[in-house]
Amino acid sequence: AQRVTQPEKLLSVFKGAPVELKCNYSYSGSPELFWYVQYSRQRLQLLLRHISRESIKGFTADLNKGETSFHLKKPFAQEEDSAMYYCALSSPAGNMLTFGGGTRLMVKP
Amino acid sequence: GAVVSQHPSRVICKSGTSVKIECRSLDFQATTMFWYRQFPKQSLMLMATSNEGSKATYEQGVEKDKFLINHASLTLSTLTVTSAHPEDSSFYICSVRGPNLPGELFFGEGSRLTVL
């Protein structure tokens, strides 16, 4: 069974501080990992995917198969980064997306 | 990407009535749509996978007779909450699998159901 765990429900940092949102997964195979973000009063949207190895809005995430982790990082948080962040896992076939519990990031001025 | 629209965005109904929520894929044909439920301050829970022209696949613990899903066309899936009760009050979100990458989903704006 596939499972995604985000240990922190809330993460509060000051503007300019580094941010790391933790995500651990359980999957017997080679998963596809994603981070989705939901800004206030907006719909859920894709932030980044591990296969692209890209940086979006300053965020990066590296898949660590040894630690089964896919932590989301940003060196300098901005107030507009405040949102709910969901880590998600999909099988390579993409038949089903499993979400973690979500982490609310609050960036204080 | 894909544009997904849900209607209504908010609905209030009396206990015992049925409510239909529509999910439309506006700019491409979606053979598969997903229905999620989100409780306050909690994650999204997959309820069912809607397949065009065939029966929906429900997740364990989701009552198929309670939550009727119809995917009659490649651009429309509907979720009907039958004989609604206050505990059915929730945020229901549909999503469409993107045309390009596996696992990439595009979400509707969600429908908030309040059952009195």
Residue to mutate among A32, A97, A98, A103, with most B CBs inside 10 A, is A97
Whether A97 sits inside 8 A of B49 (CB atoms) is no
Report yes or no: B105 at the A interface, CB cutoff 8 Å: yes
The pLDDT of residue B14 is: 95
Q: Which residues contact residue B59 at a Cβ distance below 8 angstroms, ignoring those fewer than 6 apart? A: B45, B46, B47, B48
Q: Which range, of A17-26, A100-109, B25-34, B86-95, averages the lowest pLDDT?
A: B25-34
The pLDDT of residue B1 is: 67
Condensed to tens digits (0 to 9), the pLDDT of residues A58-83 reads: 999 989 989 999 999 999 999 999 99
Report yes or no: A7 at the B interface, CB cutoff 8 Å: no
Whether A99 sits inside 8 A of B44 (CB atoms) is yes
